[in-house]
Chains A and B, each alone.
Chain A
Amino acid sequence: MVQSASIRKDFVSGEFITRTFRISGEASLRTDPLLDQLNDHLALFVQLERVFISPLLNPVALTGNYPVGQVRKDNLGLVVLSNWREGLPRREGQYVGRDHIDRKILIMAGGFEVQGVLRLHPSVDLGNFVRTTPEQFIPVFEATAAMIANPNVQFEGGAILVNRAQIEVFCIVPRPGTGPLRS
């Protein structure tokens, strides 16, 4: 077994991005995967431990740290996970399945431009999915997010969970035609 020095067992580390702050923290996975916690309509907040806060204008400066913090979910624009497996349910289903395919998308949400792929069954219509899914956060895989007001501020991760309530524009990137070599 590969030994690894990690964040604590049963916790996932993530970047929780609001319009003002970058909040680095660890969410407990003892009850549910992080995505399920974020999509739990009965809870308004998600609890984080080892919370370190930076202003988005200077996202590498640590301006505050607290052992525990509560983040209001509807104010979150994005949640950046370096490895999607740590935050999403392991079960086969909506986002995990052998027959799922990647489709490139671009989303403007929470002051960020998010690019990546949605990983869904080929029969799912992406536009319909985004309009009608009951879930508040949707995972964009292999994603990058650039702050629209300052594109030097960029986040990347195995998955970025995007708050659907903060989506301003959602676009499906058309599949490119044949490349120049095949002409």
Chain B
Amino acid sequence: MAQILLIDDDTNLLQMVKLMLQRVGHEVQTASDGEKGIAMAADSQPDLAIIDVMMPGLSGYDVVRRMREDTRTARIPIVILTARSQPMDKHMALEAGANAFLSKPVTSQELIDRVDAVLRAGVNYRVHTGLLTEPMRPSSPLHTPSAAGPTPPRQTPPVPARSTSEHPTSPESPLRPSPPPAQFPIITVSSLRGGTGSTTLAVNMAMLLAMRGRRVCLVDLSTTSGHIPLHLHLTPQQTWGDLLSMRDAPNPQALERLLVRHEGSGVFVLPAPPVPSTQSLSTPAIQAVLQQLGRNFNHVIIDAPNLDPATIGALQMSRSVVVVMADDPPSVQSTGQYLIALLNLGVDAGRVRVALVHVQPTPDVPLETIQKALKRPLSAEIPYERTQVAAIRRGIPLAVAEPEQPYAQALEQLARTITT
């Protein structure tokens, strides 16, 4: 439970946000203008402040600056919540010294997730959309000793876990764990943006490797109804969701029962729950699973569409990470941020490959622009394939049905690059 100060001139919104935070166990104080808010922050030393920008008198930016200049309030993490949601407003808020920026309207879940992430990360980190963190720049007022004075580091209180701690899904701090060595033959295929064809890529890559006579296991870590069984026309009876109720790591027999064999290729699949789940496997749980699979298969290919504790665990153990992107601006942005997050997670750039998948017939953003934005070359460019949907309907991946087509050829080249 944390103590949170809300500063906003809109009393209805104050009450609404207060209720949202109280419901998950936080203690909330409110102030209806900037001056009062600064005084309350200095007096009560809250664990976090949520501040509106558009207020009569002192604006939210002024409040943030004044709090950062006062030694009593300089180490309080700040979230800006405002209806002014343009990129320049976000930039201004973060430059003023805020740790996170949220635009109204905000859902209860978004607010709570961001508050928890900021509390976990502390005052020296910025928390962006998707809960990606980055260190505050040294030029930030927080890092200017002359402005803030010598202040002891603030200990942020532990954030309440919303799932039971004994459960395999207990939420570790997902963003800065220590990475173990990548010693297993694991390839994680991941994208933070939906619709980029990452599942299709993972499935086809598994097929290509299986066609070379390799023992391959496909792991679907999706928490939002995994699609690998759909691609392969499989009807799994059990999924990794069955592991959520186990207190200990699964034994080989239990894990074997969860695997489904694709008859045509011999690829084994560890499917995801068909019903969207609010829980994922914990980092230790997935790592125990992957260790067992890694010992028994030549390649373990993971389809990881979320950045949750399970994916973090998989990323840490992966020999290669394929970040899949499409050629549209949101995908370029997500990929850029994802690459930064991977570095923060300890996944070194040498293990990461970026694959561009054309999901529409005509490219949106030129290749050069994408590479310039990402500041790195692409490892593969997978052409648009209009028969992709038909392949899913048939349950026969294109790599098997049409191995001579450019799509399969490009994937073959990517698979060769990764596995040699």
A3, A26, A153, A182: which contacts B383 (Cβ < 8 A)? Answer: A182
Whether the Cβ atoms of B54 and A7 lie closer than 8 Å is no
Whether the Cβ atoms of B86 and A180 lie closer than 8 Å is no
B17, B92, B362: which contacts A177 (Cβ < 8 A)? Answer: B362
Chain A residues 87 to 104 lying within 8 A of chain B, measured CB to CB, are none
5 chain-A/chain-B pairs, Cβ below 8 angstroms: A2-B109, A59-B88, A60-B61, A176-B362, A179-B363
Give residues in B with beta carbon < 8 Å to A.
10, 12-13, 16-17, 20, 53-56, 59, 61, 81, 83-89, 91-92, 103-109, 111, 358, 361-363, 367, 381, 383-384, 406
| A128 at interface by CB-CB < 8 Å | no
Q: A15-B86, A179-B362 are in contact. List 11 more A-B contacts (CB 8 A).
A: A5-B104, A6-B16, A7-B13, A8-B10, A8-B12, A59-B86, A60-B88, A80-B86, A154-B86, A176-B362, A180-B363
Interface centre among A8, A59, A179 (most CB of B within 10 A): A179
Using Cβ atoms and an 8 Å threshold, which residues of chain A touch B367? 180
| A4 at interface by CB-CB < 8 Å | yes
| A24 at interface by CB-CB < 8 Å | yes
Chain A residues 140 to 154 lying within 8 A of chain B, measured CB to CB, are 152-154
For A4-31 the 0/1 string (1 means CB < 8 A from B) is 1111100001010000000010100000
Nearest-Cβ distance from residue A152 to partner chain B, whole angstroms:
8
Whether the Cβ atoms of B89 and A65 lie closer than 8 Å is no
Using Cβ atoms and an 8 Å threshold, which residues of chain A touch B363? 176, 179-181
Using Cβ atoms and an 8 Å threshold, which residues of chain A touch B406? 181
Q: With A and B bound together, what is the CA distance between A2 and B107 in angstroms?
A: 7
Chain A's interface size range is 20 to 34
Whether the Cβ atoms of B105 and A179 lie closer than 8 Å is no
Whether the Cβ atoms of B362 and A178 lie closer than 8 Å is yes
Q: A50-B54, A182-B383 are in contact. Are A4 and B86 (CB under 8 A)?
A: no
| A137 at interface by CB-CB < 8 Å | no
Q: A24-B54, A182-B384 are in contact. Are A154 and B87 (CB under 8 A)?
A: yes
Using Cβ atoms and an 8 Å threshold, which residues of chain B touch A15? 84, 86
Using Cβ atoms and an 8 Å threshold, which residues of chain A touch B84? 15, 24, 52
Using Cβ atoms and an 8 Å threshold, which residues of chain A touch B83? 7, 13, 24, 26
Q: With A and B bound together, what is the CA distance between A179 and B406 in angstroms?
A: 14
Q: With A and B bound together, what is the CA distance between A96 and B43 in angstroms?
A: 52
Whether the Cβ atoms of B383 and A82 lie closer than 8 Å is no
Whether the Cβ atoms of A62 and B54 lie closer than 8 Å is yes
Q: With A and B bound together, what is the CA distance between A26 and B12 in angstroms?
A: 15
The closest CB in chain A to the CB of B109 belongs to: A2
For A140-178 the 0/1 string (1 means CB < 8 A from B) is 000000000000111110000000000000000001111
B88, B103, B108, B362: which contacts A82 (Cβ < 8 A)? Answer: B103
A-B pairs with lowest CB-CB distance, top 9: A6-B105, A181-B383, A179-B363, A60-B92, A13-B83, A3-B108, A4-B105, A52-B54, A62-B59
Q: With A and B bound together, what is the CA distance between A156 and B84 in angstroms?
A: 11
A5, A26, A179: which contacts B81 (Cβ < 8 A)? Answer: A5
The closest CB in chain B to the CB of A176 belongs to: B362
Whether the Cβ atoms of B56 and A65 lie closer than 8 Å is yes
Using Cβ atoms and an 8 Å threshold, which residues of chain A touch B85? 82
The closest CB in chain B to the CB of A3 belongs to: B108
Nearest-Cβ distance from residue A131 to partner chain B, whole angstroms:
28
Q: A153-B88, A176-B362, A178-B361 are in contact. Are A5 and B16 (CB under 8 A)?
A: yes
The closest CB in chain A to the CB of B91 belongs to: A60
Q: With A and B bound together, what is the CA distance between A62 and B108 in angstroms?
A: 28
Interface centre among A3, A8, A153, A155 (most CB of B within 10 A): A3
Q: With A and B bound together, what is the CA distance between A3 and B17 in angstroms?
A: 10
B17, B88, B361: which contacts A5 (Cβ < 8 A)? Answer: B17
Using Cβ atoms and an 8 Å threshold, which residues of chain B touch A80? 86
Whether the Cβ atoms of B107 and A4 lie closer than 8 Å is yes
Q: With A and B bound together, what is the CA distance between A13 and B105 in angstroms?
A: 10
Whether the Cβ atoms of A4 and B362 lie closer than 8 Å is no
Q: With A and B bound together, what is the CA distance between A180 and B56 in angstroms?
A: 54
For A28-66 the 0/1 string (1 means CB < 8 A from B) is 000000000000000000000010100000011010010
Whether the Cβ atoms of A4 and B54 lie closer than 8 Å is no
Using Cβ atoms and an 8 Å threshold, which residues of chain B touch A82? 85, 103
Whether the Cβ atoms of A5 and B111 lie closer than 8 Å is yes
Q: A8-B12, A181-B358 are in contact. Are A154 and B107 (CB under 8 A)?
A: no
Using Cβ atoms and an 8 Å threshold, which residues of chain B touch A65? 54-56
Whether the Cβ atoms of B106 and A4 lie closer than 8 Å is yes
Nearest-Cβ distance from residue A57 to partner chain B, whole angstroms:
13
Q: A65-B54, A179-B361, A179-B363 are in contact. Are A6 and B86 (CB under 8 A)?
A: no
Q: A13-B83, A154-B87, A179-B358 are in contact. Are A5 and B383 (CB under 8 A)?
A: no
